[in-house]
Amino acid sequence: MTIFLSERVEQYRFADHELSAAYERVGAATRSRLKQNIAWNAAVNGIPGGDVVTARTIRRQGGRLVTERTAMDWTLVLAGNGYLSPGPVLAGCVYPLWVGVPEVVVLREAGKAPVPDGILAGLELAGLESFGECSAEEVLDTIRFAQETGGHGSILVLGTLSSVVEAGLGEVDIPVHRLGTRGRVDTIHVLCDDVSVWDWDFLAGAYPGATFVVGGVECGSAVECLPAGVDAVQCSRDKLFLRECDLFLHPDPATSEPVSARLCLGPGQEGAWIWPQLHPAMFEYVTIRLFS
């Protein structure tokens, strides 16, 4: 079928020169981290190869049940205006792409906060050029249009949307999935040792407004060396593992220690955000056939 959702949001889309300019401004180091983010998310599902249908057959007395899963026709990603962290935004947007959804459209609700260059550059790197920003009413119109396009689709919500948009989501018969309701990465725990080196400059830009809680060997020296404007506090190693956080940075991410976050990364992986909450089934259409 012909999909028109990307054409519908063309009027809100960032121009190619705006994406290219942001790509240049973020610098080579940040681009490398963003590429790493895309690569890790591709590894979660593998790169799709066309219209793949996965079928499963269950035999029971008196019949045969066949379930078929195929990628949805489209996914509309809605990002709240307060969502500023490039890694989580990019990881959320590319996930349906790697599941095999042919059309992924991204809209950010306009507000006080401008779109960070890291988000623009990341979407440019991922080839997600159907990305725009518009008012709450225009987001609502797009949601209603998505309902009318036909086919099978889903909506992925990043962060907090306005009450106007939330009300509209409740009026349409489209599956809605949510990530990061607070709208950003708030707390990051960092375990330091006398060997590992963390990319503090990238972390400061990738998670604006986050509080870094640092513990372990030489943690005091690490806090003193942080980039200007980074909010950091020290705590004991034990408390680092007891208090919950959004992201845990560990010198050995394969550790058997029970860390206090659902996502644990190691040195050199600072840009490899992956959403534990996402599952391929969120972006697949299921057909059930029962044979006697």
Contact 182, 159 (CB under 8 A): yes
Residue 290: its pLDDT value, please? 80
Which are the contacts of 163, defined by CB distance < 8 A and separation ≥ 6?
none
What pTM did the predictor assign?
A: 0.86
Q: For 27-74, what is each residue's pLDDT tens digit? A: 998 999 999 999 999 988 887 755 555 656 666 666 777 788 889 999
Radius of gyration of the chain (CA): 21
Q: For 115-140, what is each residue's pLDDT tens digit? A: 999 999 999 999 998 999 999 999 99
Backbone angles phi, psi at 138, to 5 degrees: -70, -35
If one counts every other C-beta atom within 10 angstroms of the C-beta of residue 281, the result is 10
CA distance 37 to 182: 21
Q: For 91-117, what is each residue's pLDDT tens digit? A: 999 999 999 999 999 999 999 999 999
**pLDDT of 186 higher than 70:** yes
CA distance 122 to 91: 9
Contact 97, 104 (CB under 8 A): yes
Residue 127: its pLDDT value, please? 92
Q: For 150-176, what is each residue's pLDDT tens digit? A: 789 999 999 889 999 999 998 889 999
Q: For 210-268, what is each residue's pLDDT tens digit? A: 899 998 887 777 777 778 778 888 888 888 999 899 999 999 998 888 998 999 999 98
**DSSP 8-state class, residue 132:** E
Residue 205: its pLDDT value, please? 84
**pLDDT of 180 higher than 70:** yes
Residue 57: its pLDDT value, please? 64
Q: Based on the number of CB atoms within 10 Å of its own CB, is 246 exposed (0-12), middle (13-18) or buried (19 or more)?
A: buried
CA angle 270, 88, 24 (to 5 degrees): 70
Dihedral, CA of residue 230, residue 182, residue 247 and residue 276, to nearest 10:
-150
CA distance 222 to 101: 43
Residue 1: its pLDDT value, please? 47
Alpha helices in the chain (DSSP H): 5-8, 16-45, 86-99, 117-126, 136-148, 163-169, 200-206, 219-224, 237-242
Residue 206: its pLDDT value, please? 86
Question: Which DSSP string do the residues of 230-290 spell out, in sequence order?
Answer: -EEEE--HHHHHHS--SEEE-SSTT--S--SSS-EE-TT-TT----TT--GGGGEEEEEEE
Which are the contacts of 153, defined by CB distance < 8 A and separation ≥ 6?
5, 72, 73, 74, 75, 76, 146, 174
Residue 182: its pLDDT value, please? 63
What's the rounded mean pLDDT across residues 20-29? 93
Residue 91: its pLDDT value, please? 94
CA distance 247 to 112: 26
Structure tokens at 67: 């379930």
